[in-house]
Structure 1
Amino acid sequence: MAARWLKVLAAAPLMLSALTAAQPAQALVPYVAVPAERNLEGAGLGIAQAAARLLRIGQADDAARLAALTVQLIPDDPRGWVLLAEAQLRSNQNEEAAVSLAKARELDPKNAGILFAQGSLALKDSRPSEAADLIREGLKLDGNNAGAYFDLGNAYILMGKSGDALGAFERASKLRSDFWEAINNQALVLYEQNKAGEAIKRWRRVVGIKDAAEPNLALAAALNVAQPGNTESLQRAAKALAEDPNYVLESWQKEQLWGPRLRSAAAQLLAQPALKADVERAQANAGASDDLGDG
């Protein structure tokens, strides 16, 4: 498949140069065909489909290159710009993605998905207030998007609006009952509101849906505060650190929106002598998966 699309990419500049070359009409070689507009559109959509396939299998850089060709061929189709923005985001081209999303929104201003994507990008760029405005505008057009409510909740946390954040996360989990990340973040908010019992209930609900590192360690930390060194806390903490060693780092916990109360509880838990080997192993491995991914 890769070789096939290399041929497409190699041929494309020749086609574009034939279209844009400023030569006198009489100098046009008779056997050089100038593609009709409908043919350009068909070619652009075909390349877009190839880009989408590459994106699905994780080849974001190659997808971005093909999507860039798509918007050259059909610049007035917002779908191509959205596809390009998605590929750029996944290949960490955030500034370029912002430009692509702005162009898509210009072409399709009533598309809630574009507003949500702009909101997510603003959130990623540490602009939570702008993110919240964009997401709320999108929710006026599509009020049943669970992911948008989740992003809105995260923006509210960063803005210090814990009550609004909790409401947004609860709305997200009502729209999608298995949205464990939204339930997890409800617990994050509740724990910082000094409602440890409610937070523990939510984390237990989360691990029933997804036995992931974050809820396991958060639950372990909360339980350890009530009963230091209890067996369940130690077992859950060891499991969490083995699954995702990054959670041994307070900086990573903070990045995942853990508040000061929960980070303090986690520090107390990770100081337990029984976890010494697990903590040291996690500290040695923290960041390793990110380093591999960058290569």
Structure 2
Amino acid sequence: MKKFLKKIICFSLISFYFLQIEKVQAIVPYYYFPTTKHLQKQSLNIGKNAYQLLYFGQYEDSLNLAKLAIKINAKDEKLWLILAESQIANKKYKNALNSLNKAEQINSNISEIYFAKSNIYLKISQQSKAKRSLEKGIKIEPNNHKAIFQLGNILLMEKNYLEAIKFFDKSIKIKPDFWQAINNKGLAYFEKSNINLSIKLFKSAISFQENAEPLLGLASCMRINDTKLAIQLAKKALAKDPKYVNYDYRKEQLWGEKLQASTEILLQNEQLKKDVILAKSKIIESS
């Protein structure tokens, strides 16, 4: 009997012990500690959302989200690149360069880092640094036709026309229908006074894309020998993109002094007076 009583008491004490544990567990709050892998996944999702906001023009919101993503995970170069893009959109160029340097420290073999740096250096008028950054990026990604084209553009700014043409040729070899490079070859040859070759190049660019720039470029080439065609082309160009009526805008598009002079003479033609006035009024309305 004593043994039996002992067993009952012992069983009761054990039962009481486990019941007490269950009660304690019921009142102690449960905390979930996310794993590193989970945090990384969340930071990438936030980074993607930041990039989407950037695409839709919500620059400030994009920047805030990109900063949050970096706070969660500062070891992912992709997030630093997204942050840099958001900073560029918000004109925080110094901060963007710092972010790109962080990305480079993590992984120096990403061409986009150097292309983004080049973009910033061009915005702050540091062409030599822009050129060096592009060259680094192209070493990593030698068939990037856009980067090669941009390097040609820097040489065009420097009035190094023959070297610029070489890079435009490289870009076109990779992508034969890249009308922008064909067009800019036309710009370069005009400054070299090779008007006939400029005409061929502008016509070729138009065959791929009937854009205002090669249309007006071709009009300026035809101004002396075929005034009627030049006026038709200029009318079409200004209707497509009124901004090309503006000297400073054309300068931003890397038009050289000779082509600018020819275009200014063309736009003073009496038959284009209404078109010029209309183009200027559209620019004012959109500003």
TM-score (structure 2 length as normaliser) = 0.84
Q: State the alpha-carbon separation in 2 of the partners of residues 175 and 99 from structure 1.
A: 32
* AA aligned opposite 1:65: N
Q: State the alpha-carbon separation in 2 of the partners of residues 131 and 87 from structure 1.
A: 19
Counterpart residue number, 2:99: 100
Q: State the alpha-carbon separation in 1 of the partners of residues 60 and 240 from structure 2.
A: 28
- Counterpart secondary structure, 2:223: helix
| Deviation string, structure 1 residues 152-174 (Cα, Å, up to 9, x no partner) | 01111222321111111111111
| Deviation string, structure 1 residues 165-211 (Cα, Å, up to 9, x no partner) | 11111111111122111111111001000111111101001111111
- Counting only pairs closer than 5 Å after superposition, residues 1-295 of structure 1 correspond to structure 2 as 30-227=29-226, 230-286=227-283, 288-289=285-286, 291=287
* AA aligned opposite 1:205: S
Deviation at 1:39, TM superposition (A): 2.2
Q: State the alpha-carbon separation in 2 of the partners of residues 41 and 209 from structure 1.
A: 44
User: Does 40-49 or 274-283 show the bigger shift?
Assistant: 40-49
Contact 1:246 1:287 in 2 (8 A): no
* AA aligned opposite 1:55: L
Q: State the alpha-carbon separation in 1 of the partners of residues 173 and 57 from structure 2.
A: 30
Q: State the alpha-carbon separation in 1 of the partners of residues 236 and 200 from structure 2.
A: 20
Between structure 1 and structure 2, the one with the greater Rg is 2
Contact 1:213 1:240 in 2 (8 A): yes
Q: Percent identity?
A: 34
Unaligned runs of 5+ in 2: 1-27
Distance 1:287-1:180 versus aligned 2 partners, 3 A rule: farther
Q: State the alpha-carbon separation in 2 of the partners of residues 187 and 90 from structure 1.
A: 31
Q: State the alpha-carbon separation in 1 of the partners of residues 285 and 161 from structure 2.
A: 33
| Deviation string, structure 1 residues 240-284 (Cα, Å, up to 9, x no partner) | 112222211111111111001000110111011000001111122
- Counterpart secondary structure, 1:286: helix
* AA aligned opposite 1:240: A
* AA aligned opposite 2:152: G
Please, what is the CA RMSD of the aligned residues?
A: 1.8
Unaligned runs of 5+ in 1: 1-28
